[in-house]
Amino acid sequence: MPATKLQNANIASTTLLASPRELRQDIPLSHTLISRIQGFRQEVEQILDGEDRRLIAIIGPCSIHNLTAAREYAERLKKLRDEIAESICVIMRVYFEKPRTVLGWKGLINDPYMNDTFHIEEGIRMARQFLKFIAETGLPAATEVLDPLMPQYIGDLISWSAIGARTVESQTHREIASGISTPVGLKNATDGSLKSAINGIQTAMEPHHFLGVTDQGLPAVFSTTGNPYPHLVLRGGREPNYTEESIRAAEEALYQARVPVQIVVDCSHGNSCKQPERQCNVARELMRQIEDGNRSIRGLMLESNLEWGSQQMSGEYGELRPGVSVTDPCIDWETTADIMRELHRRYKKAVAAAD
């Protein structure tokens, strides 16, 4: 009688991975960088609390695929951050993992060479090295939490985290949000409904117990205290949800749920119908609402790259244009700098008028 395979019936292979501690020892942080990242996180917390009256602006490529172009982008963004720091706290969007509706490239960590070789440990090392670079440059980093293990490998370099529209209903991701060391934005579902995100905020604020992996790579039960800084991210759905009516509905829903009425608006995705030129219109409408007295809008997100639009992943890696998105289409650098300078000028006037 043939033996029956009860475990790993559909597993083709297993590759051991360096532990989080080993990888962090290979790419360590100096005391200066640790202190700097703690400061970045405190900035975000103070803005969410209303102690710092600036806006958060999470800006950057839909996904990172070319590290040389990403470094150039980061250097430009650091200069812009310094220029508008009086009114806007700029954070670089650094997304290494991409959730896919069906199939597709899952990001630099999963497949760093974009050729289906899936050298994941190399991807993690590349991601950690890049995050260290931008911290040394003087930029805070924002990313989406997708794989439950990844915060152990790169979380010490992150200043703002997101739970995406496809995972906001996931108990695992809500538990991670409860224990993660950064403020965390939870996006509304892909259909535009708010319930999952608000339930997620409530869940993330409470203590939890869940399974995870220690620094040494050992399985363990993690107990959390609850995260004091989960908040709502409006990213649109079947219809945009950045209008004054939509913002008021979100405020009321947050108030009724007895969670902080703090909103970040994603100017891309469902709010721009994935048409990059619409992102600036969304940003201007948000600023109009702030000028009219809105106090719940704490920040915005823009998908931006060195060049406009997006490109198909076909052919060899070397044939891809370095500064053009391979996922959602982005606005280019010149448009990014122009809209952020406009928002900076208008926000300064709005704050002065309110005083």
- What confidence score (pLDDT) does residue 354 get? 86
Q: What is the dihedral of CA 297, 303, 308, 312, to 10 degrees?
A: -150
Task: Sketch the domain layout of the chain as residue ranges.
Answer: 20-47+54-354
Predicted confidence at residue 6, as pLDDT, reads 85
pLDDT at 101: 67
Give the pLDDT confidence score for residue 243 in this predicted structure: 98
What confidence tens digit (pLDDT) does each residue in 79-111 have? Answer: 999 999 999 999 999 999 988 766 788 999 999
Planar angle of CA 139, 226, 263, nearest 5 degrees: 55
What are 143's two structure tokens? 């990313």
Q: Which residues of the chain have pLDDT under 70?
A: 1-4, 101-102, 315-316
Q: Which two tokens stand for residue 209?
A: 């117990």
Q: Which residue has the tokens 């409530």?
A: 202
SS (H, E, C) 34-102: HHHHHHHHHHHHHHHHCCCCCEEEEEECCCCCCHHHHHHHHHHHHHHHHHCCCCEEEEEECCCCCCCCC
Distance CA 176, CA 263 (A): 20
Instruction: Look at the domain 20-47+54-354 and name its fold.
Output: TIM Barrel (3.20.20)
Indicate the pTM of the whole model.
Answer: 0.96
Q: What is the pLDDT of residue 165?
A: 96
- pLDDT value for 319: 84
- In this predicted structure, what is the pLDDT of residue 174? 98
In terms of phi and psi (left: phi > 0; alpha: psi -120 to 50; beta: otherwise), the region of 116 is left
